[in-house]
Structure 1
Amino acid sequence: MDDSSPRLRAILFDRDDTLIEDVPYNGDPDRVRPMPHAREALQRARRAGLRTGVLSNQSGIARGILTVVQVEAVNAQVERMLGPFDVWRYCPHGPDDGCRCRKPQPGMIRSAAGELGLCPAEVAMIGDIGADVEAAAAAGARGVLVPTSRTRPDEVQAAAVVVPDLVAAVALLLEDAGGLS
């Protein structure tokens, strides 16, 4: 981070395949399993004084596969296992709905930053697909890609910052922020 960049104050995380194992259209809290290193990465961010949040596209709602109640039950389980989080956002729209919140649009990042009293430049977004880092760039936030086996090679190539896991992502952001921890 150069001296003219605002200080990092929050890290926002994608939910599925970033914080928890992706179970497509999961509406069952009992199927929530943290990703490797998720607890450690979150603990490190929180110890450094950073606020944390979760942002997730949940098109299963628009498709009629999931209800809002189910998504919120899964989110509550994530919070019990990995929380507390300072902010939650999910997009209930489908890919063709033209909303401003569905990643790669910047709406959820801007909204979450606003709820935290921050500007997007004070926020980083960590996710496993191109839409996560594209949303960060569109919002004016920092973006870090943590690829999984489902991440497409073109998404990895297009990302400005790619690291192997969540701990490395948080460590890099803390280092860039002047070693907050």
Structure 2
Amino acid sequence: MVFQDYTSFDNRTVEDNVAFGLECRGMPVAERRELARAWIARVGLDVKRDATKYPSELSGGMRQRVAIARTLVLSPRIILMDEPFGALDPTTRLHMQELLVDLWKEAQATVFFVTHSIEEAIYLGDRVYVFSSAPGTIIREMAVPPPTHPPKEMLREHDFVERVCEIRDVMDNLAASTRAGD
């Protein structure tokens, strides 16, 4: 699971944070270090510079990438992600979205991804659910095709923009009915 808050272990280095689950599984030290370093690089951190740092020495976005790497290194079949890219700068966010799509294609993992970004939901999802605020009731379900190319390109496509507008209309109608007391 990847939370929106930083969940790194403060007393462990980046490498040890990423390798934590592998350590719990009993993986030999050399093997888990190799895998941890590969994932550190895969999430866009510099292995030589960052692997020996502690979370307090990292920016928020870097800490979040450590948490993402710690989850993905385990190759889980089900991944729960709650606003995991919220603290990332736009460029890193796009990179991490592409990485998540690549992982999904490789591992065919099931990913439950919570986001307030309509564009992110449509890019990353094969199904998008719009929930009411309270109680959390599904207002709309939309099937979307899986991404075929990077988000920067998809953001400009007519079909993508139409889906964004459709979801935005649903959300606007929901907000209007909430204000009206329906």
Q: TM-score, normalised by structure 1?
A: 0.28
More helix by share: 2
Larger Rg: 2
Q: Report which structure shows greater RCO (CA 8 Å, sep ≥6).
A: 1
Q: TM-score, normalised by structure 2?
A: 0.28
